[in-house]
Amino acid sequence: MPDKRAKGLATLKEVMGDTYVEQRDKTINRFNAPLRSFIDENCFGDVWMRDDLDRKTRSLILISTLTALNRPTQIAAHVRSAINNGATIEEIQGTLYQTISYCGVVDAADSFRVAEDVLREMGLFDQWSRP
């Protein structure tokens, strides 16, 4: 188990980035510790380490899945993970474009806004969007 967890934390850093992990470490406490352990072991120590899907595909799948559920905080997190995992802005846009027809304009529009904000924060938006 300690080994599984250590590998999970390494994966977490690769997927979410150093800043995210530092911020996360500062906020652990007795209340959320069982949640964090679950995520460390099952998400980053298991799902994200499996080789049946590449990580970029996992991120794009999550962006669409979380759009269907309209969960902005996690959509932001996985636009970030998609970039960290090598996705282009066009691939993120294509993923969101698909949700318009399948999930409806309401949820798609919310995700387009969230994704734009994250890409701006990451300093990637202005150059890309310039004509």
Q: In the complex with a second copy, which residue's Cβ is closer, 16 or 103?
A: 103
- Pick from 66, 83, 114, 118: which binds a second copy (CB under 8 A)? 66
Find the shortest distance in angstroms from Cβ 15 to a second copy. Answer: 13
Number of chain positions touching a second copy (CB under 8 A): 62
53: left (phi over 0), alpha (psi -120 to 50) or beta: beta
Nearer to a second copy among residue 10 and residue 124 (C-beta): 124
Region binding a second copy by CB under 8 A among candidate stretches 5-13, 15-23, 58-66: 58-66
| CA proximity to 112, closest of 69, 51, 64 | 64
Query: 107 with 67: CB under 8 angstroms?
Result: yes
Q: Are 70 and 108 within 8 A, CB to CB? A: no
Q: What is the DSSP annotation of 60-81?
A: HHHHHHHHHHT-HHHHHHHHHH
Chain positions contacting a second copy, by CB under 8 A: 1, 29-32, 34-35, 38-39, 42-43, 46-47, 50, 52-53, 57-58, 60-62, 64-71, 73-74, 89-91, 93-110, 112-113, 115-116, 119, 125, 128-131
